[in-house]
């Protein structure tokens, strides 16, 4: 039972950054914008959170700094991809490269420094449930926030007028503009939300997953989060399940090495990325499913008619 609890705890910890980043990118893509800069926003959020927490001694300020750093980088993307209408794929890739370089520059003084770990916040009653309680209800605030975001985004997209408008912008921005909605402003707001979520994902990496700063500590998780949105066919509930599926695979390779399966460590490290590729290949075989759920205007720049 102790081993089961330990495995579940590590799965939740590994899945939370993926879930936070993917749920934010889902909202961005539902608005018709493809932001490939998730990895860059995550790494900048991670270094900003670590630096703020280390300098002030406050993990709360670290979390806020990580979110704000993600928003700042996302607004840079929005300036080019939404307002100037540059190619979204090229702009997102440039954002990732810029974020990786900027994080390395900012984080150089913090390499090897001891970090702050987010405190666990047990939920009375629920935390006492055997096995599940310690794994899901005795966690840090960002784990709980990831649960809230999944439920909130689901209700927002399915039940609210604002969510319907955002989906309309992602399906047919010209029609939404003709109805009086400010398409570019809505897209900028969605991009900023996605940036905040990516920044929080980075903050969880440097304040909870491994409370330290190391260059490249995101380790490609931003790309997995991007693939996860497609894997989940742009549905929040499936993003949740997918994030925990890929998180479990990432933890599986650690436990496989611990029990001595004899497989090369490089092959085990590559396991989450191999699983991502296989999942996308299998999903791409169902063209009807993808066509039915993919936002029609995804990745298409919108320039309003004067």
Whether the CB-CB separation of 202 and 222 falls below 8 Å is answered with no
300 located within any domain: no
If we measure between CA atoms, which residue out of 13, 19, 42, 38 comes closest to residue 236?
19
With 90 as the cut, is the pLDDT of residue 83 above it? yes
306 located within any domain: no
* pLDDT computed for residue 277 by the predictor: 78
Domain CATH number, residue 59 = 1.10.3470
Query: Which stretches does DSSP call E strand in 92-180?
Result: 121-122, 138-139
Q: Which of 2-16, 47-61, 106-120, 273-287 has the lowest mean pLDDT?
A: 273-287
112 vs 35 pLDDT, higher one = 35
Number of independent structural domains in the chain: 1
* pLDDT computed for residue 15 by the predictor: 94
93 located within any domain: yes
User: Could you give the CA distance from residue 233 to residue 294 in angstroms, rounded to a whole number?
Assistant: 7
DSSP type of residue 33: -
pLDDT digits (tens, 9 = 90+) for 102-136: 999 999 999 989 888 999 999 998 888 888 888 89
The full DSSP string for 112-137 is: T-----PPPEEPTTGGGSTTHHHHHS
284 located within any domain: yes
pLDDT digits (tens, 9 = 90+) for 228-285: 998 888 999 999 998 998 888 878 776 666 666 666 666 666 777 777 778 777 766 7
Banded model confidence at residue 304, pLDDT cuts 50, 70, 90: confident
The range of the structural domain enclosing residue 228 comes to 2-293
If we measure between CA atoms, which residue out of 202, 200, 167 comes closest to residue 186?
167
Whether the CB-CB separation of 135 and 126 falls below 8 Å is answered with no
With 70 as the cut, is the pLDDT of residue 191 above it? yes
């Amino acid at each position: 039972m102790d081993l089961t609890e330990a495995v579940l705890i590590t799965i939740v910890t590994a899945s939370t950054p993926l879930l936070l980043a993917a749920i934010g990118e889902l909202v961005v893509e539902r608005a018709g914008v493809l932001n490939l800069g998730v990895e860059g926003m995550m790494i900048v959020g991670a270094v900003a959170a670590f630096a703020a927490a280390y300098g002030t001694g406050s993990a709360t300020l670290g979390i806020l700094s990580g979110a704000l750093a993600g928003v700042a980088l996302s607004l840079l993307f929005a300036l080019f991809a939404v307002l100037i209408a540059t190619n979204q794929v090229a702009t997102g890739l440039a954002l990732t490269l810029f974020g990786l370089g900027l994080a390395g520059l900012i984080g150089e003084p913090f390499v090897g420094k001891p970090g702050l770990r987010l405190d666990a916040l047990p939920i009375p009653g629920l935390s006492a449930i055997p096995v599940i309680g310690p794994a899901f209800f005795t966690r840090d605030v960002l784990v709980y926030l990831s649960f809230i975001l999944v439920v909130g985004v689901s209700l927002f997209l399915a039940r609210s007028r604002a969510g319907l408008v955002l989906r309309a912008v992602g399906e047919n921005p010209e029609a939404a503009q003709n109805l009086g909605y400010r398409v570019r402003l809505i897209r900028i707001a969605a991009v900023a939300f996605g940036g905040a979520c990516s920044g929080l994902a980075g903050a969880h990496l440097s304040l909870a997953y491994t409370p330290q700063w190391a260059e490249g500590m995101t380790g490609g998780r931003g790309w997995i989060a991007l693939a996860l949105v497609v894997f989940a066919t742009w549905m929040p509930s499936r993003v949740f399940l997918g994030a925990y599926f890929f998180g479990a695979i990432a933890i599986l390779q650690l436990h496989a090495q611990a029990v001595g399966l004899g497989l090369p460590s490089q092959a085990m490290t590559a396991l989450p990325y191999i699983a991502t590729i296989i999942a996308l290949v299998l999903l791409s075989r169902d063209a009807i499913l993808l066509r039915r759920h993919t936002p029609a205007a995804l990745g298409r720049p919108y320039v309003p008619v004067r």
